[in-house]
Amino acid sequence: MNFELIMIGTGSAFPKHSYNSCYVIKSHGGLMLVDAGGGNGIFNAINESGIKLSEIHHIFITHTHTDHILGAVWLIRGIINMSKDGESCGSLHIYGNSSVCNALRLICQLTFLALDYGLFTKNVELVEISDESSLAINNTLIECFDVCSKNVVQTGFRMTFGCGEKLVCLGDESLTEDNLRKIQGCDTLICGAFCRYEDKDTYKPYEKHHHTVRDVAILAEKAKVKNLVLVHSEDDNLEKRQGLYKTEASKYYSGNVFIPVDGERLVF
Ligand SMILES: [Zn+2]
Residues 156-190 as b/e (b if ≥16 CB within 10 A, e otherwise) read bbbbbbeeebbbbbbbbbbbbeebeebbeebbbbb
Tell how far the Cα of 35 is from the centroid of ligand 1, in angstroms: 9
Tell how far the Cα of 88 is from the centroid of ligand 1, in angstroms: 32
Tell how far the Cα of 175 is from the centroid of ligand 1, in angstroms: 14
Identify the CA nearest to 245 among candidates 206, 202, 201, 198. Answer: 198
CATH number at residue 157: 3.60.15.10
Tell how far the Cα of 64 is from the centroid of ligand 1, in angstroms: 9
Tell how far the Cα of 65 is from the centroid of ligand 1, in angstroms: 6
Tell how far the Cα of 62 is from the centroid of ligand 1, in angstroms: 9
Tell how far the Cα of 212 is from the centroid of ligand 1, in angstroms: 14
Tell how far the Cα of 232 is from the centroid of ligand 1, in angstroms: 7
Tell how far the Cα of 115 is from the centroid of ligand 1, in angstroms: 31
Tell how far the Cα of 226 is from the centroid of ligand 1, in angstroms: 24
Domain span holding position 202? 3-267
- Amino acid identity of residue 119, one-letter, is L
Tell how far the Cα of 134 is from the centroid of ligand 1, in angstroms: 24
Q: How many domains does the chain have?
A: 1
SS3 222: helix
Tell how far the Cα of 22 is from the centroid of ligand 1, in angstroms: 9
pLDDT in tens, the chain (268 residues): 899 999 999 999 999 999 999 999 999 989 999 999 999 999 999 999 999 999 999 999 999 999 999 999 999 999 999 988 888 777 899 999 999 999 999 999 999 999 999 999 999 999 999 998 999 999 899 999 999 999 899 999 999 998 899 999 999 999 999 999 999 899 999 999 999 999 999 999 999 999 999 999 999 999 999 999 999 999 999 999 999 999 999 999 999 999 999 999 999 9
Tell how far the Cα of 69 is from the centroid of ligand 1, in angstroms: 10
pLDDT number for residue 66? 97
Tell how far the Cα of 34 is from the centroid of ligand 1, in angstroms: 12
pLDDT number for residue 135? 96
pLDDT number for residue 86? 85
Query: Rounded to an integer, what distance in angstroms lies between the CA atom of residue 165 and that of residue 2?
Result: 8
- 126: CB partners within 8 A, 6+ apart: 94, 96, 101, 104, 105
SS3 230: strand
Tell how far the Cα of 221 is from the centroid of ligand 1, in angstroms: 24
Identify the CA nearest to 191 among candidates 257, 98, 243, 242. Answer: 257
Residue 265 burial class via C-beta count within 10 angstroms: exposed 0-12, middle 13-18, buried 19 and up? middle
